[in-house]
Amino acid sequence: MARTIEVRSGVELPATRTEIELRTADGLTLVGELAVPLDKPPVATLVTLHPLPTAGGFMDSHVLRKAANRLPALADLAVLRFNTRGTSSPRGRSGGVFDEGTDERLDLDAAMRFVTENHLPHPWLVGWSFGTELALKYGLEHDIDGAILLSPPLHRATEAELGAWATNSVPLVALIPEFDDFLRPEEARERFSVVPDIDLVEIAGGKHLWVGESQVKRVLNEIVSNVNPAAAPLPETYELA
């Protein structure tokens, strides 16, 4: 008999979840997980890039974990998560050492190669904090459908790297929390002015870490409304067989 459950903080909805390893061009092994819909092919793929590992960021950072827990079932999306070089999580530790966003370019290369080799459709980059820097700096080197930035600090991406997004047709979406620790809406409008077509979404009451179920739901709905609009808004309940 089917059972209706509420979609909230700790819920993990049905999906096929596979532990994976990525191989970088400089010989490292990165640990990760791929979550895909249980009984149908995904309509698109989220390649997630986690927050700063030296500040506690990893593939299980809560918004990314909840995306993997919910979106294969609720939005028919594949969710790829992995630890960048030198990063540890319950899944394990990726080889190498943190390189301030430089050699992490090879980590993104490895993830996108995995996407291609496994025929995962319509990849979107979803970066959070430090992960947004990797998306901005290196995302355009890959065949992606778009990029979504959660709490971009703009500490590492140069103006030239930002400007490159203005000269192509790849959609760029940035979610800017009202009370962000590093980049608030007014400054974000100024810094991102070099990308006139960016979809700059200012989140009232939002904070850098997106703590609380209401903020998580807002973030996930914004992601889905861009990547698979037919599945938005996300349901509040799920029929569990």
CATH number at residue 195: 3.40.50.1820
Residue type, 227: V
Average pLDDT for residues 20-45, to the nearest whole number?
A: 98
Domain that holds residue 24: 3-240
Determine contact, residues 198/192, Cβ cutoff 8 Å: yes
Residue 241: pLDDT band (50, 70, 90) is confident
Total domains present in the chain: 1
Looking at residue 42, its pLDDT comes to 98
SS (H, E, C) the chain: CCEEEECCCCCCCCCEEEEEEEECCCCCEEEEEEEECCCCCCCEEEEEECCCHHHCCCCCCHHHHHHHHHHHHHHCEEEEEECCCCCEECCEECCCCCCCCCCHHHHHHHHHHHHHHCCCCCEEEEEECHHHHHHHHHHHHCCCCEEEEECCCCCCCCHHHHHHHHHCCCCEEEEEECCCCCCCHHHHHHHHHHCCCCEEEEECCCCCCCCCHHHHHHHHHHHHHHHCHHHCCCCCEEEEC
- Residues pairing with 239 in the sheet: 4
Q: d(Cα 230, Cα 109) in Å, to the nearest integer? A: 30
Residue 7: pLDDT band (50, 70, 90) is very high
Looking at residue 120, its pLDDT comes to 98
Q: d(Cα 130, Cα 92) in Å, to the nearest integer? A: 20
pLDDT at 169 exceeding the cut of 80: yes
pLDDT at 223 exceeding the cut of 70: yes
Cis ω on the peptide bond leading into residue 233 (within 30° of 0)? Answer: yes
pLDDT at 1 exceeding the cut of 80: no
pLDDT at 102 exceeding the cut of 70: yes
Q: d(Cα 64, Cα 102) in Å, to the nearest integer? A: 22
